[in-house]
A = this chain, B = another copy of it.
């Protein structure tokens, strides 16, 4: 821990913009002393960022008067019905988000699980203000045609440095939805190549003319299999694999693609081992049956290691290894969607590392905490047989890819994957104690051993989320009943203490 202390104190001078300053400067002078005292009490839990606020500050109801005015104004030009907090990010720091009325909340939602290493992170600030970032911002290339001279280096020293085991290639994209869709496109092209008999078999005249008319065989009636309650994005192809909530899908045309059941596990896991194993076997059998018999040939199966929007639904490593085995057996690709689970939150860099599988997925998609997106692969047959088949103007963004590299460096510098593992264990234990005390309020607590990627079902979930702001916490839900925790990777035990105290306050009243 000593090295971390030294490293973080080195960082302070990097926050030099007058408009970007840690909010501790606006909190009461005793804050630092109080922090020091707490640190001493907690022993090894040295704060990564000594100038982070000591705790939440609540000055007004949320939204307060200034926020209410700003929201009314924004609504004139931008739909605000899903607005949660109107934030001042320049006053936010570390795990704390600030609003316009002086309220400062502990943020365990983190922009829908997409802020990796804290607001106004000094190391990211250094990257964002570097000459190479400035060039990337103002000289954005069409990467497929005119990549920049250091593109290979940016990839190798960043996104590929953390490539999942067994995968060493990347196709870059913009966000989770299009990352999944380009992976699906690669899968369809690969599957048709298999059916054709290789990369050198030319397209037929019929394929060429029918494709231009959106008809088979050129535009084949093929499918991607996904799971009930899954979420893979909201564009037309990705939405066709999303099965989370009707509100995501209603009125939008969709492809006739199959869905298999995802295991409904019972908690605590140890008490239901046999029933859960049976449930997983049932879901695997259903998947295999669909692969064999669904009327539109399945090119790939897409799965989240933890269903992250659909209710924080988990399955065992055995389930996922079974899925890999089935997809191999039927020459179907396995795409693992790590858009929400990836980049450290589960106590591994990639959540699918928990499976301990020797046989890697064919593609792994990522976004959110990476601040960029894309898919990893290895098999060179997944490069289409001709150029311009997997192509678009920007094909990603060097600026965000440089930022991802800085995020990776910060994760390594502070050993943040280990931190989420340890803090997650601590947080889980605290929640387990609360669940014992308030069994009606904290049900089906899940995510043990998955870092801070924890969730439970609440009988009054929406009320819980809403009232949380009043006790200084910003927290989100998933599915119909789950409270989902998605803190940043810099969430530590002393933050967990604040969260646990707030949670008890909410569920005991």
A contacts, CB < 8 Å to B: 17-20, 70, 73-74, 76-90, 92, 97, 100, 111-112, 114-115, 119-121, 124-125, 127-129, 131-135, 137-142, 144-149, 151-152, 155-156, 160, 168-171, 174-178, 181, 184-185, 188-189, 191-192, 203, 207-208, 211-215, 218-223, 233-238, 240, 243, 246-257, 259, 367-368, 371, 383, 386-394, 399, 403
Contacts and interface: CB of A to CB of B under 8 A. Distances in A.
A139 B119 contact: yes
A331 to B, nearest CB: 16
B175 A89 contact: no
A259 B259 CA distance: 30
A252 B390 contact: no
B393 A214 contact: no
A399 to B, nearest CB: 8
B259 A97 contact: no
Given A221-B253, A253-B255, A383 B79 contact: yes
Given A74-B151, A147-B87, A82 B212 contact: no
List the 8 closest pairs (A to B, CB-CB), nearest first.
A236-B237, A81-B387, A89-B139, A214-B254, A219-B254, A17-B131, A128-B137, A124-B138
Contact of A160 (B77, B79, B124, B259): B77
A211 B246 contact: yes
B247 A152 contact: no
7 contacts: A70-B152, A115-B140, A119-B138, A185-B234, A211-B246, A212-B249, A219-B252
Contact of A253 (B85, B212, B219, B250): B219
Given A137-B403, A151-B74, A207 B250 contact: yes
Contacts of A148: 86-89
Nearest to A124: B138
B387 A114 contact: no
Number of copies: 2
Contacts of A86: 146-149, 151
Contacts of A368: 393
A342 to B, nearest CB: 14
A425 to B, nearest CB: 28
A109 to B, nearest CB: 8
B82 A391 contact: yes
A259 B213 contact: yes
Contact of A214 (B185, B221, B257): B257
Given A70-B152, A142-B111, A236-B235, A128 B134 contact: yes
